[in-house]
Structure 1
Amino acid sequence: MSKLLSLFSRSSRRRWLYSLMAAIMAVSIVVITPTPSQAVPRWLNILLQGVQIIQLSNLSDRQEAQLGQQINAQLTSRQFRLYRNSDVVRYIDDIGQRLAETSERSNIDYTFQVVDSDQINAFATMGGYVYVTTGLLRAAENEAEVAGVLGHEVGHIVERHAVEQMRERAVQAGVATAAGLDRNAAVAIGVDLALNRPNSRRDEYEADELGLRNMLEAGYAPSGLVTFMQKLAQRGSPPTFLSTHPHPADRVERLQQAISSLPSNVSSAATDGLAQDAYRARISPLLR
């Protein structure tokens, strides 16, 4: 081996190293990390560890979950405070997990959290992280309405809207390269997207449709999503949860049409979550 190595001149080694670095940067993998079993030279291992490039077009579920975890850590430590009553938090997580199991992307882990805020809001970020505020929980009249909101947010995750938005934002900001996006920049963009919720008309309609379908699969009364949207749309200024693009009234009309077109055996089978007293009892710590 030493004889073979001696055949390489200093310049040829340099060319070989530059070619290797270029190849590494062009690989379509989110984060390049060598496995422990590989016999990697120490200098190459250091080089690989320094390459924290994300290729969003080939983002795997595992890599999306890693990004989502980092975004969630930033959100929950710096941007808002989580509500900590274990009974209420567990109850909301139970609703969310019931929806996650019947969603079109049930293969990933979901985390449902309650944000301590009087604002009526709900949002999601990549990797299965969903947030709902205490203000929204107080405004809801029953479990089906909460399920409608959570189902809508799960719909955003199913369609990977946050990933698409991150890619668009990175290109617009000029921080994406041919190799991909720096991980730190990706986390910063993900935090901003979660807080500002710039979903398009198409994204909102898709999330509404998937949320409605998800509710039916989980056995929740589909009217819950409609009644909650109707109630909030009638307020003077609709909350962030109801994006003004498209208009809430248009979204309500589309949902009503979708429900009315359901076969009677489907709509009659999904009736859970309409008991107001039972819901109020479960969130009673919020009502004191």
Structure 2
Amino acid sequence: MKQIFQILKKIIIIVSAILIYGCAVNPVTGSHEIVLMSVEGEKQLGEENARQVAEQMGLFDNPELVSYIQSIGQRLAEKSPYQDVNYQFQIVDLEEPNAFALPGGYVYVSRGLLVLLNSEDELAGVIGHEIGHVAARHSVQRLTRAAPIGLVTGITSAAVGIVSPFLAHTVSGAGSLLNSTILAPYSRTQENDADAIGQLLAIKSGWTPEGITTFLNTLDRETERKGQEGDQFSFFATHPSTPKRVKATEVRAVELNAEKKFQQKRYLIAKNHKAFLNKFNGLSLVLMLDRG
């Protein structure tokens, strides 16, 4: 009887949370969806966990390179359909090639990813993809789906603890963001959506929409060269690639290039390929020193 009472109590908590946070309009699709987090809660969550990223992973100390990343990011963010958050861009001090986004507009690329890039269009494609995850509120959707399961089963994890202050006080243990819930692979639909948003942002901002496609092909070749599927915290581990996904980005790029309403005058911050490569001088040496 006591167990039934506890389950009913948790169900009431879930329903109450839904009533509090209610139905929100997705900024990308325009459709209504149930979320257990307000925009202000999303911002607070992002701010708190951005501090954890800085403490646990570390940020790469290269002001000139960070400024370059931020310039690309802010230009893309200006075209984002989601303008309720303050987009911020940093380089995380990891040799594994990856990029990820936190709720509230925090976007990161690793220095290990930067050395694999062949063009500014690729970099814009990667950053645009991560902005796409933020704009579609994919992390908020994931946490919303995970919260009821955690409450009903009694599992205490970051998936429950960081959804909102209301839910955090309901179960014990706030947990840490840096776990499989946030950095686990996105669904295929979410990946395709983020690709589509990123490609649209790229062409609207003066870059070509093929960037994400060529980067995925480069990363795929690099993974094959190493003879492995990628580290636990590699781009492919958190953003799984499939031939269908790569093909979809190729087709979408052709379509976007054909639509005159999306075409903008190409405008690169690094004026040519040599200037682009010069931005990353020394990064390869840092990676070699890491690997000893």
Number of corresponding residues: 239
1:242 matched residue in structure 2: 236
2:51 matched residue in structure 1: 73
1:279 matched residue in structure 2: 276
Amino acid aligned to 2:194: A
In structure 1, distance between residues paired with 2:60 and 2:77 = 21
For the 8 Å contact 1:68–1:125, the answer to whether it is kept is: yes
Identify the match of residue 168 of structure 2 among 176, 182, 185.
Answer: 182
For the 8 Å contact 1:156–1:203, the answer to whether it is kept is: yes
Q: Structure 1-normalised TM-score?
A: 0.72
In structure 1, distance between residues paired with 2:133 and 2:250 = 20
Amino acid aligned to 1:111: Q
Identity, in percent, stands at 31
Correspondence list, 1:184-263, <5 A: 188=175, 190-193=177-180, 196-234=183-221, 235-236=223-224, 237=228, 239=230, 240-243=234-237, 247-262=241-256, 263=258
**Greater C-alpha radius of gyration:** 1
Which runs of no fewer than 5 residues in structure 1 stay unpaired? 1-21, 31-55
For the 8 Å contact 2:186–2:238, the answer to whether it is kept is: no
Which runs of no fewer than 5 residues in structure 2 stay unpaired? 1-11, 22-33, 286-292
Correspondence list, 1:131-142, <5 A: 131-142=108-119
In structure 2, distance between residues paired with 1:270 and 1:251 = 27
1:95 matched residue in structure 2: 72
For the 8 Å contact 2:116–2:218, the answer to whether it is kept is: no
Identify the match of residue 127 of structure 1 among 104, 117, 135.
Answer: 104
1:14 matched residue in structure 2: none
Matching of residue 115 in structure 1 with residue 92 in structure 2: yes
Alpha-carbon distance change, 108 to 122 in structure 1, aligned in 2, over 3 angstroms: same
- Secondary structure (helix, strand or coil) at the match of 2:179 reads helix
Moved over 4 A (4+): 25-30, 183-187, 243-246
2:35 matched residue in structure 1: 57
Amino acid aligned to 1:117: L
Tell me how far 1:169 sits from its aligned partner.
2.3
| TM-superposition CA deviations, 1:111-141 (whole Å, max 9, x none) | 1110111111011110001111001011101
Alpha-carbon distance change, 125 to 71 in structure 1, aligned in 2, over 3 angstroms: same
Superposed CA RMSD in Å reads: 3.1
